[in-house]
Amino acid sequence: MGSGTGDRRCGVDIVAVLDVSYSMWGNRLEKLKTSMNFLVKKLSPIDRLSIVTFSSTAVRLCPLTAMDKNGQAKIEMLINKLEADSYTNITLGLETALSVLAQRRQYEGRTTAIMLVSDGEQSSGYDHPSTVDVDVSGFPVYTFGLNTDHDSKVLYEIASISDNGTYSIADVECADSASLNIAFSSCLAGILSVVVQDLKLTVTQLDSDIQDVRAGNHDQTRDNESVTISFGNLYNSETHKTTVFLSLPLVQARTTSDILIISYSFRSISFGNFLPN
């Protein structure tokens, strides 16, 4: 279980990937602007935010910007100027977001996230995001589908192939709906509460034979006598459970034996290095 560290936390780098295609025209775009301004106010000076918009093309409106008062004012100005036009190419939006994260010079001890907001209506003529060569497996992608008529398969696929991303639905047709704000708040609650990064658990057999290790959908690697599970980021109060199935040697009488070595490593949010235990 992730143990909280009080007010201390690592800074987060967020790339917001926003759909500004024709289908977002009107109330959808206005609700998106309102919710993005809400998100900006939830971030602290240790956090950085970049805005990427996409329609038939994708544009990085700003690099990762520290969310101090000046940074917040700059981002809010960009958000309020958003306009809807052209068709929808989600693929280019994702590729541009990955480029923003790849160009970072400061990244040690920082959490990353891509937040993709769209009505999910990928225009005909563009490849489906789950079939093109857009590798988002190294980052969590949190997708937000606007209203019930969006293409849920597209946004669900993107979140599923990312590193522990999630898919949410928000109703923005109702004028007084705050569902997108709520979805953003829920997402940020997780992103801003990372305790450690790159958590790995290794079980090594001794006087036993590991038959199977079950730890949900987390990646596993096996090396002869050991199995390593990669959990990624661990959030405050988040719990992971791992079950190890063993074959033990036959014994004729009561005996004592060491059957497993259990160890783990993680990257500290304070020092950016791996701490083994």
The verdict on 150 and 91 lying in the same domain is yes
Q: What is the pLDDT of residue 274?
A: 45
The verdict on 240 and 171 lying in the same domain is no
The verdict on 176 and 235 lying in the same domain is no
Query: Are 166 and 149 spatial neighbours (Cβ–Cβ below 8 Å)?
Result: no
The verdict on 91 and 208 lying in the same domain is no
The verdict on 21 and 102 lying in the same domain is yes
Cα dihedral 65, 71, 75, 78 sign:
negative
pLDDT tens figures, 13-50: 999 999 999 888 888 899 999 999 999 999 999 999 99
Sheet with 141-146, side-by-side order of all strands: 58-66, 48-54, 12-19, 111-118, 141-146, 167-170
The domain boundary residue, chosen from 161, 192, 223: 192
The verdict on 177 and 46 lying in the same domain is yes
Question: 59: number of CA atoms within 13 Å, CB side?
Answer: 11
232: left (phi over 0), alpha (psi -120 to 50) or beta: left
The verdict on 121 and 42 lying in the same domain is yes
The verdict on 160 and 255 lying in the same domain is no
**Maximum mean pLDDT: which of 121-130, 185-194, 249-258:** 249-258
Query: Does residue 7 belong to any structural domain of this protein?
Result: no
Query: Does residue 2 belong to any structural domain of this protein?
Result: no
**1-5, 10-14, 238-242, range with the lowest pLDDT:** 1-5
Residue 275 has pLDDT above 60, yes or no: no
pLDDT tens figures, 140-151: 999 999 877 676
**Domain containing 72 — which CATH number?**
3.40.50.410
Residue owning tokens 């009107």: 26
DSSP 8-state assignment for residue 202: E
The percent of residues in the chain predicted with pLDDT above 70, rounded, is: 84
Query: Does residue 89 belong to any structural domain of this protein?
Result: yes
Q: How many domains does the chain have?
A: 2
The domain boundary residue, chosen from 170, 192, 214: 192
The verdict on 181 and 200 lying in the same domain is no
- Label residue 193 by pLDDT band (50, 70, 90): confident
Query: Does residue 250 belong to any structural domain of this protein?
Result: yes
The verdict on 70 and 95 lying in the same domain is yes
The verdict on 182 and 215 lying in the same domain is no
The verdict on 33 and 147 lying in the same domain is yes
- Label residue 1 by pLDDT band (50, 70, 90): low
Residue 108 has pLDDT above 90, yes or no: no
Q: What is the pTM of this model?
A: 0.74
User: If residue 96 lies in a helix (H) or strand (E), which one and from where to where?
Assistant: helix 90-102
Query: Does residue 4 belong to any structural domain of this protein?
Result: no
Sequence-ordered list of residues with C-beta below 8 angstroms from that of 31, at least 6 positions apart, any chain: 146, 172, 177, 180
Q: Domain range for residue 47? A: 12-192
Residue owning tokens 């305790």: 195
Query: Does residue 212 belong to any structural domain of this protein?
Result: yes
pLDDT tens figures, 223-257: 989 999 998 877 766 788 899 999 999 989 998 88
The domain boundary residue, chosen from 159, 192, 225: 192
Task: Work out the angle at residue 135's Cα, subtended by the Cα atoms of residues 99 and 25, and round it to the nearest 5 degrees.
Answer: 65
Q: List, in sequence order, every residue forming a beta bridge with 200; answer none if it has no partner.
A: 230, 265
Strands 219-223, 209-214: pairing kind: unpaired
DSSP 8-state assignment for residue 28: H
Query: Does residue 3 belong to any structural domain of this protein?
Result: no
Query: Are 22 and 57 spatial neighbours (Cβ–Cβ below 8 Å)?
Result: no
Query: Are 23 and 119 spatial neighbours (Cβ–Cβ below 8 Å)?
Result: yes
Tell me if residue 241 falls in helix, strand or coil.
Answer: coil
